[in-house]
A = this chain, B = another copy of it.
């Protein structure tokens, strides 16, 4: 594996870590009331996006072949159904705990991966297809999930200064 490949992988990991740090800062900054409010009229609540991001990051564990799911029950509430579909959902306190557990598990697993490991196939492509489509690798998943996180951070930041 080349030095150049090491640099590129490092940049992509740095971008992921930066967005995770921004998200952590924002979730710590926002009050429980702010997280309960909508990012814009009739749009998702902050707490739904917190659960959504947690569930999506949790799916990365098996997708990147790193670990089993930690909180598979989140998918029904936060991926498969829109906000306000359920009268009962996990508390903000619990969701913040899940969010940290998932991202810390990812971070611990990431430290054990070499640059070459990032170019291996992810778990939703079979070996035959991967030969023809080598871009369907772990690094691609990480790039796309980083942009997904940035997308929702742009929305969550709108909760600042809301009473």
Contacts and interface: CB of A to CB of B under 8 A. Distances in A.
Interface of A: 1-2, 4-5, 7-12, 14-15, 19, 39-41, 43, 115-116, 119, 134-135, 137, 139-140, 143-144, 146-148, 150-155, 158
Given A40-B39, A151-B151, A139 B8 contact: yes
Contacts of A11: 135, 137, 139-140, 143
B7 A119 contact: yes
15 contacts: A4-B115, A5-B5, A11-B139, A12-B12, A14-B135, A14-B140, A15-B143, A39-B40, A39-B158, A41-B41, A148-B150, A152-B154, A154-B154, A155-B155, A155-B158
A113 to B, nearest CB: 14
Contacts of A19: 147
A148 B149 CA distance: 11
Contacts of A158: 39-40, 43, 155
A20 to B, nearest CB: 12
Contacts of A2: 1-2, 4-5
Please give me the 9 A-B residue pairs with the lowest Cβ-Cβ distance, nearest first. A154-B154, A151-B154, A40-B40, A150-B150, A2-B2, A8-B8, A147-B150, A4-B5, A150-B151
A10 B135 contact: yes
Contact of A137 (B7, B116, B144, B153): B7
